[in-house]
Every structure is written in structure tokens, then in C-alpha cells.
Amino acid sequence: MAGMTPARGDHDARRLEVSEGVWRVLSTRGFEGLTLRAVAAELGASTGLLTHYFPNKRALLSHALEELDRRSGSRPRRTAPVDGTPPPPAGLPRLRAALLDVLPLDAAAAAGNRIWVGSWDVALADPELAAAHAGRYARSREALAVHVVDAQRRGELPAGSDAVAVATAAQAFVLGLVVQALFAPGEFPAERQTALLDAYLAGLAGPAAGGTGG
Amino acid sequence: MAGMTPARGDHDARRLEVSEGVWRVLSTRGFEGLTLRAVAAELGASTGLLTHYFPNKRALLSHALEELDRRSGSRPRRTAPVDGTPPPPAGLPRLRAALLDVLPLDAAAAAGNRIWVGSWDVALADPELAAAHAGRYARSREALAVHVVDAQRRGELPAGSDAVAVATAAQAFVLGLVVQALFAPGEFPAERQTALLDAYLAGLAGPAAGGTGG
DNA sequence: AACGATACATAACAAACGTTTGGTATGTAC
DNA sequence: GTACATACCAAACGTTTGTTATGTATCGTT
């Protein structure tokens, strides 16, 4: 059953397999090492296969990044787990879960984050990719802001502060922690990352007392 | 014996001019667009000039990054300004100044940060560069920790918390803010970056205001 | 004036790159 | 069975890359 007809699902499935090869090359050799030949070798195929499913290298890369975003973005493990585990209650626990989802707490998350961090160089030099990235982070901030508002309604976070600002700051915090953890994985095991995040959230909840001018 | 060859300073000065060309190419075209010919064209010279001052491309890049680090790292504008302005007092104000120095508050700082963020991809794929980066961030954290300790001694920050953890978290915060500001400069003008940082610092100072003892 | 080192420019080099081309095998439609 | 589209592989294309080789002008020293 190999090399079959064009059932539409097969085509998209094959494109996803190719994207997985792209991920593997990116996470080990970086964008600098992303060549069509490297991806083809990773798949045990030829470059002809790649050009058959994608018009050019940019399309190959864009699709891989979009697919990676869908994987780790629209289906967060901790916010809405796939197994029987119930999701954390709305409000602060769910904000915490969403932020934990970003961190490189295991090897798979580290590989994904390594790709994401690596993509920043090429994205900042390519307006189209830059817009895609900016949109992604804006959407992520909005999602976090919803959790912040929930937490404020429940009294878990001070009600006076700007929810969007809190969400933006929280995302900045985890993004920066990702970078540091990738460069010094030995110094940033999962427990330390979690502890740092919890300390950050405690700082948000702590100064509650009423007015927050500004 | 003095000066049998062209003055040593001239040689190093020329290497720095070359590095400036490297910066210009990196900040506009990214690491993907860093080629010897691009740098040569940027300098209005030939690739022969580059190979005369650097043995190969990696050395060219390493030197440019080290020089960039020395520029923005060992000579922070706000922490120890060059003009007559007095430096901010030790403790929390100086911590704030050091963190502000990281942010892309003007075009020059944005260009430098864009290079730095772009370097992460190639650095994560190159053990030698990765070690250099990890060392840089570790040193930066230590410097921040000193300011945190100062602030704790002065009662500007709660004395109970781990100074290294606070410094690490603060660096994560500004690093992540850098990334978001680079991708959405319109949404993150200097005032907003400063406001977000000040809110973060207020959160650090806030929760212990009364001193719960111990 | 002659010399050797320095400071480049010019040109060539093999390797690697993204892309194109031509071919084969296989499946569906009629 | 003919016709046509899909799914690839293998090879080649022209370009770009980092690097090397060669030439030449300049300058300090003798």
C-alpha cells in the first residue's frame, strides 16, 4: 500500500510528514542548516518529493511553522489536556497552565521552542513571516488576558490593574525564560522554571491592596 | 623598534570598522543575509579586505558579536552615562537603569537587539557560540543580582527573596519584552516598555511592603 | 634606490544551494 | 486498453557561497 492515489487526506498527511522532517532539521541544525537536501535526507527521500508538495522553500518553511504553531498553540497540553485529566479551573490556575505550556519543560517542548527562537532571525528579515509572528503573539496575549480577567473576577489577581498589560508582561516573562533555559538547560531544569514562574505569579497576586495608580 | 608595521591601533580600528559593516548587514538582512560579499559591498570594498583582516567567516562574525557585546554591555548608557549626568543611585534605581539599558528604547538599541535576537538561531546550533551566549547571560544575571542585593539592603526590595532568582526573573522579563517589541514596534513604543518595566519592578517591591518578619 | 611587509583589489575555485527538467511507476476514469 | 493525473526519483541547471591565489600600490626601513 505505498504510493497511492490522490485521496485529499493523503496529500495533506504527506505534507505534514514533510513538515515533521523540517522540524527535525530545524531543531538540530537551525535555520542556517535548513536545506532541501537536508530535509530530503531526513525523510529518506529526494528533493523532488519536496518540490512536488511545495512550490518553493519559503512555502515549505511557512507550512512547517504554521503546523508547529497549530500543534503547540491550539492544543495546549496543560490548559486542555487530551487524557482524562480535568483542565485546571478558570482564573489564575488556568493562566498558570497556559504559561507553563510555553516553557521548555520536557525535550519535546524544548525542541519546539528551539525552532521558535531560531525562527526569529529569518522572521525579522521577512515582512511576511514577521507579520505572522506578530499576529501569533498578539493572539497569545489576548488569550492570556482572558485568563487574567477571569482571575481578577475571582479575586485571585488585583482588579485595578490593566489586564492586557498583565498578560503582556507575563508573556514577556515566559518568553525570556524560554531563551535562558535553551542556552543553559543545566541551570534551568523543569522544577526551577516552574518555581520561577510561580514566584512571578505570586508577585502579581501579592501587592493586591486596592489602588494601583498608573 | 617602534612601529615597524602600521600602528597596531590602526589594524584593530580597521577590524572594528569591518565589524560595523557586519552589524549593518545583520540588522537589516539578518544572519541569513550575512555574506562576505554583502559586508564588502556595505563597506564599499572587496571581499579581499575581509579575508585580509579575518581568517574566515566565523571569525568575522565572532569578532563582530564580541564587539557588539562590549559596546552595549560594558558601557551601559543609563547605568554609567558618558555625559555629565550622574549615574542613578545604587539599589533599585540602578537595577531599573540596567534593565532599561537592555530594552530597544531607541533605533540604535533596536538594531543591536535585532542582531542579538537573530544570533540565537546560529548560536543554538553552534556549541562554541552557544557557550559564549550562555556566559554572557550568566554574567548579566550576576550583575543584576548585585543591584538586587543592594536594593534589598536599602529596603527597596523584600529581603527574604532569593536575589539570584529575582535577577534571573528580571532578565527573563526584559528579554521577552525585547522580542515582543521587535516584532510589534508600533505597539511597544519606549513609553510603554518603560511603563511595563516599572509595573514589573513595582510588583517586586510591593508584596513585602510591611515586612512580615523572618 | 632598493627591499620587504602591509593593504588591499581582482579573479578564480570547488562546493552547495534552490529550482527545473525528464523520466518512470502507479493509480483512477472511461 | 487508452488516456490522464498523481507521486515520486535522478540528474542537471545556473547561481551564490566561502575560500584561495595572484597581482599591485603604498609605505617604513635601510
What does pTM read for this prediction?
Answer: 0.91
Confidence (pLDDT) at A75 = 60
Say yes or no: B204 contacts chain A, CB-CB below 8 A: yes
The helix/strand count (H/E) of chain B reads as 9, 0
Interface A-B, measured as beta-carbon pairs within 8 A, has a size of 158
Say yes or no: B203 contacts chain A, CB-CB below 8 A: yes
Contact present, A70 and A76 (Cβ < 8 Å): no
CA of A25 to C1' of D7 (A): 23
**Nearest-CA residue of chain A relative to B127?**
A183
Percentage of chain A beyond pLDDT 90 is 79
Contact present, B199 and A214 (Cβ < 8 Å): yes
Confidence (pLDDT) at B85 = 77
Q: What is the CA radius of gyration of chain A?
A: 20
Q: Is A184 exposed, middle or buried (0-12, 13-18, 19+ CB in 10 A)?
A: middle
Confidence (pLDDT) at B73 = 66
Say yes or no: B127 contacts chain A, CB-CB below 8 A: no
- Which secondary-structure segment (H or E) carries B144? helix B127-153
Confidence (pLDDT) at A206 = 80
Confidence (pLDDT) at A42 = 97
Report CA torsion sign: B74, B79, B85, B87.
negative
pLDDT for A95-141, tens place per residue? 999 999 999 999 999 999 999 999 999 999 999 999 999 999 999 99
In this structure, the protein residues whose CB atom falls closer than 7 angstroms to any atom of nucleic acid strand C are A 3-5, 34-38, 47-48, 50-51, 55-58; B 5-6, 10-11, 14, 40, 45-49, 52
Alpha-carbon distance of B63 to B59, in angstroms, equals 6
Alpha-carbon distance of A33 to B40, in angstroms, equals 24
Angle, CA of A50, A54 and A60, to the nearest 5°: 85
pLDDT for B121-155, tens place per residue? 999 999 999 999 999 999 999 999 999 999 999 99
Angle, CA of A164, A165 and A171, to the nearest 5°: 90
Residue numbers in chain B where pLDDT is lower than 70: 1-9, 73-76, 207-214
Angle, helices A36-43 vs A57-73, to 10°: value is 60
Say yes or no: B176 contacts chain A, CB-CB below 8 A: yes
φ, ψ of residue A39 in degrees (nearest 5): -65, -45
pLDDT for A75-97, tens place per residue? 667 777 777 777 888 899 999 99
Residue in A118, A125, A172 closest to B124 by CB: A118
What is the distance between the terminal CA atoms of chain A, rounded to a whole angstrom? 65
Read off the C-alpha cell for A87: 483542565
DSSP letter assigned to residue A185: T
Q: What is the 3-state secondary structure (H, E, C) of B12-74?
A: HHHHHHHHHHHHHHHHHHCHHHCCHHHHHHHHCCCHHHHHHHCCCHHHHHHHHHHHHHHHHHC
Contact present, B109 and B185 (Cβ < 8 Å): no
Residue in A117, A165, A174 closest to B124 by CB: A117
